[in-house]
Structures are given as structure tokens and as C-alpha cells.
Amino acid sequence: MGVMYLGVVLISRLNKKSLIRWKVYIDRSKMYIGYVQFLLIIFVFIKSLGDNPVTEFVFNSPLIAVPIILVIFVLASLVIGYLDSRLGFREEEIRNHSKSNPVLMDIQKSHKWNKIKTLKLPQKIHNDLLKKTINTSLASAS
């Protein structure tokens, strides 16, 4: 009896929304883990340089070197992020993502539909636009 109750509880908690929420949490945590991995790669790179003043400074004075590396990492990340925004990579990425996302496509279609319905056009042009929108929606749905 107790095992069956536990199974019912687990199944009820493992619904689609919970799994999606967990996936989002995992994806978000991967980003932060990536930051840590990148910093570790920097230290491995510095160590691979062999015996030189930079390597000696980093590993002999970590209380000074680590904050300097962190500041450089944050500043470099900000510059790269700024350039990414200024060059328009983010907007293009979002545009491409929205084309492959059916929910966003439905929102876009309904937005076009509402826009056409609210236009103050002569009746014939208005009807032609509505027919064109309906035909496009039907063609893309099939």
C-alpha cells in the first residue's frame, strides 16, 4: 500500500511542467558552471606556460593574482557582451529562435491578424488582406 502511494505521488509530481522547469534550472546552472570552467581553463593555461614570472606570480601569490584575474575576466566579458550587442548578434539569434518556436509564430500571426483588423482601409483592400492572411496561416499550418 505504501509503495503504491509513493508511486502515485512521484507520477503526479513528474508532470510535463515540472520536467520543463527542471530542464530550465539545469540549463541556467550550466551557464554558471561554464564560468567556473572558463576560469579553471585560464589557470591551467597559465600553469602550462612553464616557469616564467606570470606563472610564479599567480601560484606564489594567489591572494593577489586571483582577484586580478577575476577583474580581468569580468571586464573582458563585459567588452565581449557589449560588442555582441552592438554588432546585433543577439537580435539575429532571437529572430532565428522565434522562427523555429511554434508558440512565438502563433503570437506573431495573431499580432498580424489583429493589426489588419484594426486598419482603417477601404473595404475591398481590407478583405483582400484578411483573405491573404488566412490563406498564409492555413498554408503554414498544413
Mean pLDDT, the chain, whole residue set: 77
Helix (H, G, I), strand (E, B) or coil at 51: coil
- The structural domains of the chain, with segments of one domain joined by +, span 2-87, 102-141
Average pLDDT score over residue span 64-81: 91
Q: What would the pLDDT profile of 2-14 be if each residue is shown by its tens digit? A: 555 655 656 666 6
